Amino acid sequence: MAVVGVSAVGCGHRAAQADSGRPAATAEAAPAYAGLSDVPERLGNDGTTISVGDPAAPVTVHLYEDPRCPVCKEFESTGGAPQLRAATIRRETKTQYTLASFLDDRLGGSGSEKAVNALRAALDKGKFAEYHDVLYADQPAESVDGFTDAYLLELAAKVPGLRGPDFDSAVKTMKYRSFVTTSEKAYERAGGVQDPEGPGTPTAEINDVTIPSQYSAVLFDGDVFAGLLAKIRANPDVWQDAG
Protein backbone atom coordinates (compact mmCIF):
# COMPACT_ATOMS: atom_id res chain seq x y z
CA MET A 1 0.00 0.00 0.00
CA ALA A 2 1.37 3.38 -0.98
CA VAL A 3 1.34 6.03 1.71
CA VAL A 4 1.54 9.65 0.69
CA GLY A 5 2.37 12.82 2.58
CA VAL A 6 0.15 15.31 4.35
CA SER A 7 0.45 18.53 6.36
CA ALA A 8 1.93 20.80 3.70
CA VAL A 9 1.30 23.81 5.94
CA GLY A 10 2.08 22.21 9.30
CA CYS A 11 4.94 22.44 11.77
CA GLY A 12 8.04 20.49 10.78
CA HIS A 13 8.41 18.27 7.74
CA ARG A 14 5.83 16.71 5.47
CA ALA A 15 5.37 12.95 5.06
CA ALA A 16 3.79 10.10 6.97
CA GLN A 17 3.76 6.42 7.61
CA ALA A 18 0.84 4.23 8.55
CA ASP A 19 0.66 3.08 12.15
CA SER A 20 -2.89 2.14 13.05
CA GLY A 21 -5.20 -0.68 12.05
CA ARG A 22 -8.89 -0.82 11.22
CA PRO A 23 -10.94 -3.04 13.52
CA ALA A 24 -13.88 -4.97 12.14
CA ALA A 25 -17.22 -3.19 12.34
CA THR A 26 -19.63 -4.35 15.00
CA ALA A 27 -22.89 -5.98 13.99
CA GLU A 28 -25.02 -3.37 15.76
CA ALA A 29 -24.14 0.23 16.45
CA ALA A 30 -23.55 0.83 20.15
CA PRO A 31 -25.18 3.88 21.72
CA ALA A 32 -23.21 7.08 21.66
CA TYR A 33 -21.27 8.19 24.72
CA ALA A 34 -22.87 10.90 26.80
CA GLY A 35 -19.94 13.20 26.17
CA LEU A 36 -16.17 13.44 25.87
CA SER A 37 -15.71 12.79 29.58
CA ASP A 38 -17.31 9.34 29.14
CA VAL A 39 -15.21 8.25 26.16
CA PRO A 40 -12.66 5.53 27.09
CA GLU A 41 -8.98 6.27 26.65
CA ARG A 42 -5.94 4.07 26.97
CA LEU A 43 -2.23 3.76 26.30
CA GLY A 44 -1.37 1.36 23.48
CA ASN A 45 0.89 -1.65 23.77
CA ASP A 46 3.66 0.31 22.05
CA GLY A 47 3.84 2.56 25.10
CA THR A 48 3.38 5.78 23.13
CA THR A 49 0.09 5.74 21.22
CA ILE A 50 -2.82 7.20 23.18
CA SER A 51 -6.22 5.99 21.95
CA VAL A 52 -9.52 7.74 22.62
CA GLY A 53 -12.83 6.13 21.74
CA ASP A 54 -14.53 2.80 21.19
CA PRO A 55 -11.87 0.19 20.26
CA ALA A 56 -14.41 -1.35 17.85
CA ALA A 57 -15.06 1.89 15.97
CA PRO A 58 -14.87 1.26 12.20
CA VAL A 59 -12.66 4.28 11.46
CA THR A 60 -9.32 5.06 13.09
CA VAL A 61 -7.76 8.51 12.82
CA HIS A 62 -4.13 8.70 13.97
CA LEU A 63 -2.87 12.20 14.66
CA TYR A 64 0.71 13.42 15.11
CA GLU A 65 0.80 16.66 17.08
CA ASP A 66 3.14 18.92 19.03
CA PRO A 67 1.41 20.93 21.80
CA ARG A 68 3.23 24.13 20.80
CA CYS A 69 2.33 23.85 17.10
CA PRO A 70 -0.04 26.69 16.09
CA VAL A 71 -1.22 24.76 13.03
CA CYS A 72 -2.29 21.94 15.34
CA LYS A 73 -4.32 24.51 17.26
CA GLU A 74 -5.98 25.59 14.01
CA PHE A 75 -6.93 21.98 13.30
CA GLU A 76 -8.12 21.41 16.87
CA SER A 77 -10.10 24.61 17.29
CA THR A 78 -11.53 25.65 13.92
CA GLY A 79 -10.61 22.74 11.63
CA GLY A 80 -11.66 19.13 11.48
CA ALA A 81 -11.04 18.15 15.10
CA PRO A 82 -14.43 19.25 16.51
CA GLN A 83 -16.13 17.02 13.93
CA LEU A 84 -13.69 14.23 14.76
CA ARG A 85 -14.53 14.52 18.46
CA ALA A 86 -18.24 14.33 17.64
CA ALA A 87 -17.68 11.19 15.55
CA THR A 88 -15.64 9.68 18.38
CA ILE A 89 -18.43 10.36 20.86
CA ARG A 90 -20.86 8.69 18.44
CA ARG A 91 -18.53 5.62 18.34
CA GLU A 92 -18.06 6.05 14.60
CA THR A 93 -14.37 6.84 14.96
CA LYS A 94 -11.59 6.32 17.43
CA THR A 95 -8.74 8.80 17.62
CA GLN A 96 -5.11 7.94 18.28
CA TYR A 97 -2.38 10.41 19.21
CA THR A 98 1.39 10.38 18.92
CA LEU A 99 2.70 13.41 20.81
CA ALA A 100 5.83 15.15 19.60
CA SER A 101 8.00 17.73 21.33
CA PHE A 102 10.47 18.75 18.60
CA LEU A 103 9.50 22.43 18.74
CA ASP A 104 11.37 22.83 22.03
CA ASP A 105 14.64 22.10 20.24
CA ARG A 106 13.79 24.36 17.32
CA LEU A 107 12.44 27.30 19.29
CA GLY A 108 14.07 26.88 22.69
CA GLY A 109 12.38 26.16 25.97
CA SER A 110 10.58 23.13 27.34
CA GLY A 111 6.89 23.85 26.84
CA SER A 112 6.20 20.98 24.47
CA GLU A 113 7.88 18.44 26.74
CA LYS A 114 6.08 19.77 29.81
CA ALA A 115 2.72 19.68 28.02
CA VAL A 116 3.25 16.12 26.74
CA ASN A 117 4.21 15.04 30.27
CA ALA A 118 1.08 16.68 31.67
CA LEU A 119 -1.10 15.03 29.02
CA ARG A 120 0.33 11.64 29.94
CA ALA A 121 -0.45 12.38 33.59
CA ALA A 122 -4.01 13.32 32.60
CA LEU A 123 -4.36 9.93 30.90
CA ASP A 124 -3.80 8.27 34.28
CA LYS A 125 -6.85 10.16 35.53
CA GLY A 126 -8.96 9.31 32.50
CA LYS A 127 -8.93 12.99 31.53
CA PHE A 128 -6.57 13.05 28.54
CA ALA A 129 -9.12 14.01 25.90
CA GLU A 130 -10.63 16.81 27.96
CA TYR A 131 -7.26 18.23 28.97
CA HIS A 132 -5.95 17.92 25.42
CA ASP A 133 -8.80 20.14 24.24
CA VAL A 134 -8.14 22.69 26.96
CA LEU A 135 -4.42 22.91 26.14
CA TYR A 136 -5.09 23.69 22.49
CA ALA A 137 -7.91 26.11 23.28
CA ASP A 138 -5.54 28.02 25.59
CA GLN A 139 -2.28 27.43 23.70
CA PRO A 140 0.29 30.22 24.24
CA ALA A 141 2.00 31.80 21.26
CA GLU A 142 4.49 29.36 19.74
CA SER A 143 7.48 31.60 20.43
CA VAL A 144 6.57 32.28 24.07
CA ASP A 145 7.19 28.81 25.51
CA GLY A 146 4.24 29.42 27.79
CA PHE A 147 3.42 25.87 28.90
CA THR A 148 5.02 26.29 32.31
CA ASP A 149 4.19 24.08 35.30
CA ALA A 150 2.05 26.86 36.77
CA TYR A 151 0.12 27.41 33.55
CA LEU A 152 -0.43 23.70 32.96
CA LEU A 153 -1.87 23.38 36.46
CA GLU A 154 -4.01 26.46 35.95
CA LEU A 155 -5.46 24.94 32.79
CA ALA A 156 -5.94 21.58 34.52
CA ALA A 157 -8.33 23.28 36.92
CA LYS A 158 -10.70 23.71 33.98
CA VAL A 159 -11.11 19.92 33.76
CA PRO A 160 -13.33 18.62 36.57
CA GLY A 161 -11.57 15.98 38.65
CA LEU A 162 -8.12 16.38 37.12
CA ARG A 163 -6.28 18.42 39.75
CA GLY A 164 -5.04 16.55 42.81
CA PRO A 165 -1.79 15.67 44.60
CA ASP A 166 -0.83 12.90 42.15
CA PHE A 167 -1.45 14.92 39.02
CA ASP A 168 0.12 18.08 40.38
CA SER A 169 3.23 16.17 41.46
CA ALA A 170 3.50 14.46 38.07
CA VAL A 171 3.45 17.84 36.34
CA LYS A 172 5.99 19.47 38.65
CA THR A 173 8.44 16.55 38.67
CA MET A 174 8.15 15.56 34.97
CA LYS A 175 7.13 12.10 36.13
CA TYR A 176 6.66 10.90 32.55
CA ARG A 177 9.90 12.21 31.13
CA SER A 178 10.67 8.79 29.63
CA PHE A 179 7.28 8.78 27.89
CA VAL A 180 8.02 12.22 26.45
CA THR A 181 11.29 10.92 25.01
CA THR A 182 9.91 7.69 23.57
CA SER A 183 6.87 9.47 22.14
CA GLU A 184 9.11 11.94 20.31
CA LYS A 185 11.13 9.03 18.93
CA ALA A 186 7.94 7.35 17.74
CA TYR A 187 7.01 10.58 15.97
CA GLU A 188 10.40 10.71 14.28
CA ARG A 189 10.12 7.08 13.16
CA ALA A 190 6.78 7.88 11.56
CA GLY A 191 8.58 10.06 9.04
CA GLY A 192 10.44 7.05 7.68
CA VAL A 193 13.56 7.36 5.58
CA GLN A 194 12.16 10.29 3.67
CA ASP A 195 11.66 12.48 6.74
CA PRO A 196 13.76 11.11 9.61
CA GLU A 197 12.93 14.14 11.78
CA GLY A 198 9.23 13.30 11.67
CA PRO A 199 6.25 13.80 9.37
CA GLY A 200 5.33 17.30 10.51
CA THR A 201 2.40 18.39 12.62
CA PRO A 202 -0.46 17.99 12.29
CA THR A 203 -0.28 14.80 10.26
CA ALA A 204 -3.37 12.59 10.00
CA GLU A 205 -3.72 8.96 8.96
CA ILE A 206 -7.13 7.38 8.47
CA ASN A 207 -7.31 3.59 8.56
CA ASP A 208 -3.61 3.32 7.76
CA VAL A 209 -3.77 5.72 4.82
CA THR A 210 -2.43 9.26 4.96
CA ILE A 211 -4.49 12.04 3.43
CA PRO A 212 -2.77 12.99 0.13
CA SER A 213 -0.77 16.19 0.34
CA GLN A 214 -2.79 17.86 -2.41
CA TYR A 215 -5.87 17.45 -0.20
CA SER A 216 -4.30 18.47 3.12
CA ALA A 217 -6.67 21.43 3.34
CA VAL A 218 -9.38 18.93 4.29
CA LEU A 219 -7.90 18.95 7.81
CA PHE A 220 -8.91 22.57 8.26
CA ASP A 221 -12.48 22.44 6.94
CA GLY A 222 -14.74 20.80 9.50
CA ASP A 223 -17.61 19.98 7.16
CA VAL A 224 -15.34 18.52 4.49
CA PHE A 225 -13.40 16.48 7.05
CA ALA A 226 -16.64 15.14 8.53
CA GLY A 227 -17.80 14.19 5.05
CA LEU A 228 -14.57 12.34 4.39
CA LEU A 229 -14.91 10.35 7.62
CA ALA A 230 -18.50 9.46 6.70
CA LYS A 231 -17.49 8.28 3.22
CA ILE A 232 -14.67 6.15 4.61
CA ARG A 233 -17.01 4.64 7.17
CA ALA A 234 -19.52 3.79 4.44
CA ASN A 235 -16.97 2.41 1.99
CA PRO A 236 -13.66 1.64 3.74
CA ASP A 237 -12.31 -0.63 1.01
CA VAL A 238 -12.28 2.16 -1.56
CA TRP A 239 -10.26 4.33 0.83
CA GLN A 240 -7.81 1.50 1.48
CA ASP A 241 -7.42 0.88 -2.24
CA ALA A 242 -6.87 4.59 -2.84
CA GLY A 243 -3.85 4.46 -0.55
Helix runs in the chain, H state only: 70-77, 81-89, 103-107, 111-124, 128-137, 149-156, 165-173, 177-190, 222-234, 236-242
Residues shown for the chain: 243
CA distances from 173 to 8, 51, 121, 166, 176 (A): 36, 25, 11, 11, 9
CA distance 202 to 219: 9
* Entry pTM: 0.88
Contact status, residue 3 vs residue 209, Cβ threshold 8 Å: yes
CA distance 21 to 139: 31
Report phi then psi at 109, rounded to 5. 100, -170
Confidence of residue 23 (pLDDT cuts 50, 70, 90): very low
Cβ atoms within 10 Å of 97's Cβ, excluding its own: 24
Confidence of residue 206 (pLDDT cuts 50, 70, 90): very high
Short-list 122, 62, 133, CA closest to 97: 62
Query: How crowded is the C-beta side of 213, counted as CA atoms within 13 Å?
Result: 14
Q: Residue 20: is its pLDDT beyond 50?
A: no
Q: What is the pLDDT of residue 3?
A: 29
Residue 30, SS3 per DSSP? coil
Provide the pairing of β-strand 93-99 with 59-65: parallel
What number is the average pLDDT over the span 220-228?
Answer: 95
pLDDT digits (tens, 9 = 90+) for 158-204: 999 999 999 999 999 999 999 999 999 999 999 887 788 998 899 99
pLDDT digits (tens, 9 = 90+) for 74-121: 999 999 999 999 999 999 999 999 999 999 999 999 999 999 999 999
